[in-house]
């Protein structure tokens, strides 16, 4: 044993190196087994040498089919001061992923307890379980007393293991990225807008938004206008006059202003003109459809000539078509007698 320490304690080599060094200088029965055992039980080597860490498999959270029953809570920050706030208390529901972000001035246990009670319990009711990390605020007597009074089961994660609270830790990445994309100085004022976008975003795992999980319907977002009188954004108008050789049978596309059962109101040359639906053809454009409409050649714009009198006549004109879709045209001399 003394021989082993005199050689091994020089630089504390590994098991194989210790066996080679001692076996090349000394010999006794079962020398390799003894040296291997002594090197393996060296306390200094075990405390200071880094080996592969044990990584357990990721487990999924316990399934629960009730909204706002299991809540994850954490503190995020510090941020630059905004309206006197430097931190955020983040709360998220495990089932619906509904998240509340509450700006707070400090992270004392009193501030955390009041913010959680006023902004979560008073809105969504008392949860069955609250999961937090091992922060002093969540382990304080005041926060624990809130759980006892409300009948909440308080659970904490193990030390230095944030994966146990990963439901909310992952959302911090999304939240910080959104805050950086906005005005970081006024981040507390932008939080409601950011949360609106998060709640309305479609989730890949559930194929629905957070708002749909809570309200059973999607949220109406700012700038979203429901056009009740119009389904077609752009449309082409059929040319009924005598066309020139190689002239396009349709003009446009023109933007649709309003829709009716018998006619559409189109924006043609800056004027709203009613055109019969029998002369219209839906136009399929890219997202930049308005830009494509503006980029029409001057000749194409000149060809879109519809005066008021022609519009009135064309509005009540209806042509018969064959079964194959071919338009049936009668001789002009019978136009006054044939009801078309």
The DSSP-derived string for 296-319 is S-HHHHHH----HHHHHHHHT---
DSSP single-letter state for residue 62: P
> Which distant-in-sequence residues (6+ apart) come within 8 Å of 272 by Cβ?
257, 265, 266
pLDDT of residue 314: 39
CA distance linking residue 241 with residue 279, whole number of Å: 12
Going across the sheet that includes 70-76, the strands are 99-104, 87-93, 70-76, 129-132, 153-156
pTM listed for this prediction: 0.57
**Helix (H), strand (E), coil (C) string for 222-277:** CCCCCCCCCCCCEEEEECCCCCCCCCCCEEEEEEEEEECCCEEEEEECCEEEEEEH
pLDDT along the chain (340 residues), means of 10: 75 84 82 84 81 68 80 92 93 93 94 95 94 92 94 89 84 89 86 92 87 89 59 79 77 87 89 90 68 48 43 45 70 55
pLDDT of residue 60: 66
pLDDT of residue 292: 47
pLDDT of residue 212: 92
């Amino acid at each position: 044993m003394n021989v082993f320490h005199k050689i091994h304690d020089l630089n504390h080599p590994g098991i194989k190196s210790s066996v080679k060094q001692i076996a090349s200088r000394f010999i006794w029965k079962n020398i390799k087994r003894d040296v291997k055992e002594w090197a393996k039980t060296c306390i200094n080597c075990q405390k200071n040498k880094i080996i592969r860490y044990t990584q357990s498999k990721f487990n999924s959270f316990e399934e629960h089919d009730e909204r706002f029953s299991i809540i994850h809570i954490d503190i995020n920050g510090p941020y630059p001061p905004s309206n006197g706030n430097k931190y955020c208390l983040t709360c998220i529901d495990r089932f619906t992923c509904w998240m509340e972000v509450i700006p707070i001035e400090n992270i004392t246990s009193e501030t955390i307890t009041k913010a959680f009670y006023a902004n979560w319990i008073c809105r969504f009711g008392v949860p069955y379980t609250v999961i937090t990390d091992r922060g002093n605020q969540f382990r304080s007597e005041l926060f624990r007393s809130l759980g006892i009074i409300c009948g909440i089961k308080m659970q904490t994660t193990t030390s230095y293991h944030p994966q146990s609270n990963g439901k909310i830790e992952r959302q911090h990445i999304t939240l910080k990225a959104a805050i950086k994309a906005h005005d970081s100085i006024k981040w507390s004022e932008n939080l409601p807008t950011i949360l609106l976008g998060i709640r309305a975003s479609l989730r890949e795992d559930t194929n629905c938004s957070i708002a749909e999980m809570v309200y059973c319907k999607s949220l109406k977002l700012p700038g979203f206008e429901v056009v009740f009188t119009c389904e077609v954004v752009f449309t082409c108008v059929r040319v009924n006059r005598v066309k020139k050789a190689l002239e396009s049978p349709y003009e446009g596309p023109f933007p649709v202003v309003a829709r009716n059962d018998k006619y559409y109101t189109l924006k043609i040359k800056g004027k709203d003109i009613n055109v019969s639906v029998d002369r219209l053809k839906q136009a399929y454009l890219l997202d930049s459809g308005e830009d494509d409409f503006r980029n029409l050649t001057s000749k194409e714009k000149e060809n879109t000539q519809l005066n008021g009198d022609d519009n009135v006549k064309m509005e009540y004109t209806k042509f018969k078509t064959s079964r194959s879709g071919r338009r049936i045209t009668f001789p002009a001399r019978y136009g006054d007698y044939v009801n078309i």
